[in-house]
């Protein structure tokens, strides 16, 4: 059953416009690919509520969420950078996913510790983000996503600065988390290989259109003209 639907959505900023009209089923792992500047981030921003849409509707389980403010949408999002507050500890950064007031009960503190353990950061709670490696910082952000328990996870290339091996590790972790929480994933990807490893569907964004998702294997075996252009 489709849970997230974009109904004749268009978003215009200056002379840039993006259009989308499709839906994805629950639990799908979708990669968004396409040339830079095509509007991949705009697509995620529209779903998350950071980019205004001029026409159409964003639907969640049939409910219109186009006017809902970001924190009330059923989505968690990781941006390309600035995913952690540098002045807060790792523990506090993760705890924000549970309680934005940071006033936690004992049980909630245990859940935060549990999330840190799940991503392999036991004992690093008191540190500041600057004291961690890039990979560890990504894990902190993922631990927070885990606690947020939102049904849709949006990744706007948060691992772009990591090396290939580390990025693969993170994507594996993302896939595990999505499976555990039965979340639907929409991730922007620059590397088609990354998309291949975890995504079961591909959305190609080009020429101002976010094309409907199609099964990854099928798309790669028989690329459309637009995708062939992108792949070169």
Minimum distance from CB of 97 to another protein (Å)? Answer: 7
Task: Report the site for another protein in 184-203 (rule: CB under 8 A).
Answer: none
- Only one of the segments 16-24, 80-88, 114-122, 223-231 lies at the binding site for another protein (rule: CB under 8 A); that segment is 80-88
DSSP 71-131: GGSSEEEE-SS--S-TTS-HHHHHHTTT-TT----HHHHHHHHHHHHHTT-TT-TTS-GGG
Q: Which of 68, 89, 136, 197 binds another protein (CB under 8 A)?
A: 68
Residue 36 or residue 82: which is nearer to another protein going by CB? 82
Q: What are the contacts of 119-126 at 24+ separation with CB within 8 A?
A: 119/143, 119/146, 119/173, 121/90, 124/90, 125/89, 125/90, 125/91, 125/94, 126/89, 126/90, 126/91
Phi, psi at residue 130, to the nearest 5°? -65, -20
Residue 156 or residue 216: which is nearer to another protein going by CB? 156
The answer to whether residue 72 forms part of the interface with another protein (CB under 8 A) is yes
The answer to whether residue 89 forms part of the interface with another protein (CB under 8 A) is no
Check: CB of residue 31 under 8 Å from CB of residue 200.
no
Minimum distance from CB of 141 to another protein (Å)? Answer: 10
The answer to whether residue 97 forms part of the interface with another protein (CB under 8 A) is yes
Task: Report the site for another protein in 8-67 (rule: CB under 8 A).
Answer: 48, 50
Residue 130 or residue 225: which is nearer to another protein going by CB? 130
Pattern 140-179, binding to another protein, x per CB under 8 A?
A: ----x---x-------------------------------
Check: CB of residue 167 under 8 Å from CB of residue 198.
no
Residue with tokens 């008191």: 126
Three-state DSSP at 151 gives coil
- How far lies 109's CA from each of 102, 149, 151, in Å? 10, 16, 22
The answer to whether residue 134 forms part of the interface with another protein (CB under 8 A) is no
- Secondary structure of 176-205 as H, E, C letters: HHHHHHCCEEEEECCCHHHHHHHCCEEEEE
The answer to whether residue 96 forms part of the interface with another protein (CB under 8 A) is yes
Residue 36 or residue 101: which is nearer to another protein going by CB? 101
Residue 148 or residue 201: which is nearer to another protein going by CB? 148
Pattern 100-129, binding to another protein, x per CB under 8 A?
A: xxx-------------------------x-
Q: Binding residues for another protein, per CB under 8 A?
A: 48, 50, 68-72, 76-77, 79, 82-88, 92, 96-97, 100-102, 128, 130, 144, 148
């Amino acid at each position: 059953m489709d849970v997230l639907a974009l109904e004749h959505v268009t978003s215009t900023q200056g002379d840039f416009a993006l259009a989308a009209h499709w839906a994805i089923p629950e639990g799908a792992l979708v990669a968004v690919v396409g040339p830079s500047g095509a509007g991949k981030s705009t697509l995620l921003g529209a779903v998350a509520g950071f980019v205004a849409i001029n026409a159409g509707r964003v639907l969640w389980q049939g409910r219109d969420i186009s006017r809902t403010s970001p924190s009330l949408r059923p989505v968690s999002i990781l941006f390309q950078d600035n995913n952690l507050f540098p002045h807060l500890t790792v523990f506090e950064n993760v705890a924000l996913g549970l309680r934005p007031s940071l006033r936690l009960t004992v049980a909630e503190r245990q859940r935060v510790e549990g999330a840190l353990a799940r991503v392999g950061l036991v004992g690093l709670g008191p540190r500041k983000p600057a004291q961690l490696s890039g990979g560890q910082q990504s894990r902190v952000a993922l631990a927070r996503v885990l606690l947020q328990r939102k049904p849709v996870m949006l990744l706007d290339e948060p691992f772009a600065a990591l090396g290939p091996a580390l990025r693969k590790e993170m994507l594996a972790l993302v896939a595990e988390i999505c499976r555990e929480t039965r979340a639907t994933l929409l991730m922007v990807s620059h590397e088609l290989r990354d998309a291949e490893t975890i995504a079961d569907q591909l959305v190609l964004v080009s020429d101002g259109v976010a094309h409907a998702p199609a099964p990854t294997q099928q798309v790669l075996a028989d690329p459309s003209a637009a995708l062939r252009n992108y792949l070169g």
